[in-house]
Amino acid sequence: MTNLETPDIKNIENGDFRYLLRGQLKSLKDNLQFRKRVVCDPLCKTDTVEIERYPSSAEVIIDGRKMINFASNDYLGLTSHPLITEALKEGIKLYGAGTGASALVTGHTTAHAKLEEYLKELTGKEKVLLLNSGFAANQALIKAHLSLGANLILDRLVHASMQQALFNGKNFYRYEHNNLKKAERLLQKYENTSIFTEGVFSMDGDSPDLQQLVSLVRKYHSYLVLDDAHGFGACGISGQGTPAKQGVSFSDIDIYMATLSKACGLCGAFIAADGDFIDYLVNTSKEYIYSTSAPAYIAHGLLTSLKIINGEEGNALRKHLNELTDYFRKEARNLPGNVILLPSSTSIQPLIIGDNKRLMEISVFLKSKGILCGAIRPPTVPAGTARLRITITAAHDRNDITRLLQTLYDAFNSIT
């Protein structure tokens, strides 16, 4: 078949790959689930806009137009911090542009070792392992537990990186989101269990009760695996994430995973755990063994990023972020229309619209006014809960939040 518009009947009956492909794409478009990339650049010198300061993730350029960016996970606004960019330049001079090999060959440099040591000291764990992304880290964690014969108990809303890794597994069970009574019933029923949950859920912005969860896993001799991708750096004393925010020690979390691509402003992820488990991952995890290591200059820059996060500047950035979030939540209660603001105290502020069509109309309206928010639709979120995923960062100021609120007010009044 050469013409996708007029497929051959015989090929249709045989399930021709290209015909089925076209059908799947049409279905996505019909259901307003089709996604397209946009070219998005930080606000710096362009053909239409010129500024004299370093770029900020709070403002972006799309199609030559300046927009206030409420779709970024750069929670502390560190992606273009001058000290970090200088550290990256220094790292390139010291280590070059790439590693050229996996960590088990020649890709594990002094910079990687220093970063792992810093994170080990920060978390108090026996060992730390760097991976290229949070997705890869969660895949490695799920697959390791499955291969060791554990029964996996997961919050129903854990990240897609965990869900996808379960496809070939059998011994896994889900409990209703943040319903620890349901989790306990599963713990009572099964032995050799590991509970997987998130510190801050990426689409809802809420958190589990970690103190209660720690009590449960100790009571039933289970293991607790925490994905704190959206909490690490952004909350807690010295940016030590959701455990610190809730008064829980890293020692109470058996396996701690966090990304280095959100509050830290760069890329990658790490797993902190006991030495035996990290050694097992080093020797069995395909995500680690068969991936070229991230450039050493990234690890070098991350050491500077973490020192900022853990110091006084980091404390000031988190204080500013919390003040902006509180201001948004207070004023958002006055928004018109049939929308629901989920009970999140974090940077992630989801507004449930419900209907895909209305969500996309609101998203287009916001963009027309220079406001960029995440328009999240199923299957990323459950059917009927399409939402604006608004992320507030420390790079924003109060005027940005006021403009967002006014534009949302206008959008909800205009689109019914």
Secondary structure string (H, E, C) spanning the chain: CCCCCCCCHHHHHCCCHHHHHHHHHHHHHHCCCCCCCCCEEECCCCCCCCCCCCCCCCEEEECCEEEEEECCCCCCCCCCCHHHHHHHHHHHHHHCCCCCCEHHHHHCCHHHHHHHHHHHHHHCCCEEEEECCHHHHHHHHHHHHHHCCCEEEEECCCCHHHHHHCCCCCCEEEECCCCHHHHHHHHHHCCCEEEEEECCCCCCCCCCCHHHHHHHHHHCCCEEEEECCCCCCCCCHHHCHHHHHCCCCHHHCCEEEEECCCCCCCCCEEEEECHHHHHHHHHHCHHHHCCECCCHHHHHHHHHHHHHHCCHHHHHHHHHHHHHHHHHHHHHCCCCCCCEECCCCCCEEEEEEECHHHHHHHHHHHHHCCEEEEEECCCCCCCCCEEEEEECCCCCCHHHHHHHHHHHHHHHHHCC
> Tokens 């402003």 appear where?
265
Rounded Cα–Cα distance for residues 119 and 135 (Å): 19
Active site residue ranges: 73, 159, 198, 202, 227, 230, 262
Whether omega for the bond prior to residue 379 falls within 30 degrees of 0, making it cis, is yes
Tokens 């396996």, located at residue: 255
Closest CA to 129 of 332, 281, 313: 281
Chain-centroid distance, C-alpha 383: 21
